[in-house]
Structure 1
Amino acid sequence: MKAKDIMTVNVISVKRDALIKDIAHILVENRIGGVPVVDDGGRVVGIISETDLVRKEKNVHIPSYITVLQGVIYLESFKKFEEDIRKITAYKAEDIMSVDVEKVHEEDDVETVASLMIERGINRVPVVDSEGKLKGIICRYDIIKSMFS
């Protein structure tokens, strides 16, 4: 069986400039756990999951630091702090989306897709054509359904 045989084809997606509050509404209204983010050409450029939205609400851990001669030396990664701040102040999809998106192609075997999802710990994977345009999406539910139908 191929990815195209089990994928959902009427995929709800958003653009980079979609507002976070609108994305949350889409997830709730459609009872889905995430949406691909596409550019104007329909190519997948990111993905937003419910985890990304929940993470937006987490408390920020301020890195430990010491002062020396009126300068600040951070004892922990300041980069993580900056990333946390960026996510909790996110306003648009592009501010919160994961950009390192695992994608599969329509002709990939379902076994390959399932292995990718398990190895990477992901719940959904966009299905794209040779140009990276969104054609469908496969969730873990789709894999299970294909195994027992």
Structure 2
Amino acid sequence: MQVSDLMATDVVTVDRDASLRAAVRELLENEVGSVIIVDDKGNPIGIVTESDALRAGYVTEKPFDEIAVIDLTHRPVITTKPSSTIRWVAKQMADNDVKKAPVMDDLELVGIITLTDIVWHLSDIQAEAGELAGSEEDWNLD
């Protein structure tokens, strides 16, 4: 199974110069759990989650419009391609302790895949792995 099979294509982004208030507005209006922070060329440079917003408000005690979203971004940003396997991206996410990965088609941001996407489709992934293992006897490796 490939990333393109599970990724969401409705990616929510905010500019690197945005305030946390702008990011939270996008979270709420789009009913998502994270926004991707992009540079002036549209490249992902960070991710901010709902939890980040709550933590920043609590810790800093500042209004959200006084908090720069770039200061909260999760790094490194682990990206993937639509053609990458779910197994590969899941390992990259686990190795880097991230739950979300922007999907890039060359230099274009085309989607996002989350750990939740993978978990929701775990039975499909396991079924596909079983089918591949079962077809091993059909392979002529000589």
TM-score by length of 2: 0.72
Using the alignment, how far apart are the partners of 1:89 and 1:32 within structure 2? 20
Q: Indicate whether 1:141 and 2:141 are aligned.
A: no
Q: Indicate whether 1:29 and 2:29 are aligned.
A: yes
Instruction: Sort the Cα spacing of 1:54 and 1:16 in 2 relative to 1 into closer, same or farther, 3 A.
Output: same
The offset of 1:148, in angstroms, is 3.1
Using the alignment, how far apart are the partners of 2:6 and 2:45 within structure 1? 22
Q: CA RMSD in A?
A: 2.4
For 2:116, give the aligned amino acid: Y
Using the alignment, how far apart are the partners of 1:17 and 1:97 within structure 2? 12
Alignment of 1:41-60 (within 5 A): 41-59=41-59
Q: Determine the structure 2 residue equivalent to 1:97.
A: 73
Identical counterparts, % of pairs = 30
Using the alignment, how far apart are the partners of 2:65 and 2:106 within structure 1? 35
The offset of 1:90, in angstroms, is 5.5
Structure 2, unaligned stretches of length 5 or more? 125-142
Contact 1:46 1:99 in 2 (8 A): yes
Using the alignment, how far apart are the partners of 2:59 and 2:18 within structure 1? 24
Using the alignment, how far apart are the partners of 1:142 and 1:117 within structure 2? 13
Using the alignment, how far apart are the partners of 1:89 and 1:14 within structure 2? 14
Q: Indicate whether 1:112 and 2:88 are aligned.
A: yes
Cα-to-partner distance string for 1:23-74 (whole Å, 9 max, x where unaligned): 11221232211111112322111111123212213447xxxxxxxxxxxxxx
How many residues end up aligned between the 2 structures?
A: 122
Contact 1:56 1:90 in 2 (8 A): no
Using the alignment, how far apart are the partners of 2:17 and 2:49 within structure 1? 16
Using the alignment, how far apart are the partners of 1:123 and 1:110 within structure 2? 13
Structure number with higher relative contact order (C-alpha < 8 Å, ≥ 6 residues apart): 1
Partner-residue secondary structure (3-state), 1:35: strand
Decide which structure has greater helix share: 2
Structure 1, unaligned stretches of length 5 or more? 61-87
For 1:93, give the aligned amino acid: V
